[in-house]
């Protein structure tokens, strides 16, 4: 996007009352750098890293350039959601080596779109942190009882989660995408908002799914991205309908937009929860994957990734 066009889009959106940062409609084009510096290991220790690899779909076209140094990785997919990862093994001699994926991404704004998947089973199942127990079934019945269509039911669940949840990253327990935590505390970040939405939607027998990636800042053309973002979709009348409840909470003026749209300034990395790759981490399936997942001697350790972007024409 040309700087003048980007500035015009930003000023237009701001003038419409969408605040700052504004979302971008239409198209967005950018370079995205995903970088990880490997941690130090003691002699005899062995490490392994699962690095998510963004792929193309109807709304996101990516070209990839890797800088992996002397390390070589194994490409694999999880069979359920078809997410791609590179799996690397490293040792003490690889301390502080940097793995870099640089993407050139062309992203379209997303509205409702036709379902092309034959099986919807994965989007109706209970998950460890998104249980479909009697509590959520009762909530789903109460929230949707006067609604006739799945679009109306999805909107009722969207409005309910928006009304009870606060965007709050204090204390402990938030950020895991724990629907029970969200329901009990009525606070959390984007993972918690959308875990609660998905738990209620699936309990109402509405297929729904989780996506995670990054929001590309709309108020500047390059810089550091501080953290990830996640969102959701639900199926109604044969179409997937995008929702972003946590962004709607932070930007109430965009409440109508975020029911039925995901903006162009997004970069999707993976989708789904409880990701089972081969090779599998020793601690089992990955809750969700956006930051690199690292194990040292079979135990997970915190990663220290960096993310940068630069808009292109």
Q: Give the tens place of pLDDT for each residue, 125-142.
A: 999 999 999 999 999 999
Look up the pTM and report it.
0.91
184: Cβ contacts below 8 Å, ≥ 6 apart = none
Domain range summary for the chain, segments of one domain joined by +: 3-109+272-311, 113-262
Q: Give the tens place of pLDDT for each residue, 225-279.
A: 999 999 999 999 999 999 999 999 999 999 999 999 999 999 999 999 999 999 9
Q: What is the overall mean pLDDT for the chain?
A: 92
Q: Give the tens place of pLDDT for each residue, 92-129.
A: 999 889 999 999 999 999 999 999 999 999 999 999 99
| CATH classification number, 113-262, choose in 3.40.50.720, 3.30.450.20, 3.10.620.30, 3.40.30.10 | 3.10.620.30
CA angle 113, 114, 115 (to 5 degrees): 120
Look up residue 114 and give its two tokens: 């036709």
Q: Percent of the chain beyond pLDDT 90?
A: 88
- Taking 80 as the threshold, does the pLDDT of residue 16 lie above it? no
Least Cα distance to 171 among 186, 156, 159 occurs for: 186
Look up residue 229 and give its two tokens: 């973002």
181 CB-side CA count, 13 A: 21
- Taking 50 as the threshold, does the pLDDT of residue 2 lie above it? no
Q: How confident is the model at residue 190 (pLDDT cuts 50, 70, 90)?
A: very high
95: Cβ contacts below 8 Å, ≥ 6 apart = 38, 39, 40, 41
- Taking 90 as the threshold, does the pLDDT of residue 209 lie above it? yes
Least Cα distance to 247 among 265, 220, 234, 222 occurs for: 265
pLDDT of residue 10: 40
Give the ranges where 79-234 is alpha helix by DSSP (H). Answer: 134-144, 150-164, 179-185, 190-203
Q: How confident is the model at residue 144 (pLDDT cuts 50, 70, 90)?
A: very high
Hunting for tokens 């040792």 — which residue is that?
91
Asked if residues 245 and 258 have their Cβ atoms less than 8 Å apart, the reply is: yes
Q: How confident is the model at residue 69 (pLDDT cuts 50, 70, 90)?
A: confident
């Amino acid at each position: 996007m040309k700087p003048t066009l980007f500035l015009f889009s930003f000023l237009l959106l701001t003038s419409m009352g969408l605040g700052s940062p504004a979302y971008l409609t239409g198209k967005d084009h950018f370079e995205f750098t995903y970088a990880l510096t490997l941690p130090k290991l003691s002699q005899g220790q062995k490490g392994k890293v699962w690095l998510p690899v963004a792929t193309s779909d109807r709304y996101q076209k990516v070209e990839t350039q890797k800088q992996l140094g002397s390390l070589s990785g194994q490409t694999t997919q999880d069979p359920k959601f078809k997410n791609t990862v590179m799996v690397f093994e490293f040792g003490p001699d690889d301390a502080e080596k940097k793995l870099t994926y640089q993407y050139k991404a062309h992203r379209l704004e997303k509205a409702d779109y036709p379902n092309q998947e034959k099986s919807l089973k994965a989007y109706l199942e209970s998950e460890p942190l998104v249980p479909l127990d009697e509590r959520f079934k009762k909530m789903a019945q109460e929230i949707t009882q006067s609604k006739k269509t799945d679009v109306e039911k999805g909107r009722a669940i969207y409005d309910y989660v928006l009304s009870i949840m606060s965007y709050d990253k204090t204390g402990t327990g938030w950020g895991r995408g724990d629907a029970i935590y969200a329901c009990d505390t009525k606070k959390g970040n984007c993972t918690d908002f959308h875990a609660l939405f998905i738990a209620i939607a699936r309990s109402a027998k509405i297929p729904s799914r989780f996506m995670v990636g990054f929001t590309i800042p709309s108020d500047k053309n390059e810089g550091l991205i501080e953290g990830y973002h996640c969102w959701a979709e639900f199926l109604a009348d044969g179409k997937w309908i995008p929702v972003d409840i946590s962004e709607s909470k932070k930007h109430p003026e965009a409440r109508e937009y975020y029911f039925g749209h995901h903006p162009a300034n997004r970069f999707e990395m993976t989708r789904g929860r409880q990701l089972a790759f081969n090779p599998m981490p020793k601690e089992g399936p990955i809750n969700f994957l956006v930051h690199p997942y690292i194990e040292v001697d079979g135990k997970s350790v915190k990663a220290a990734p960096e993310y940068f972007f630069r808009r292109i024409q």
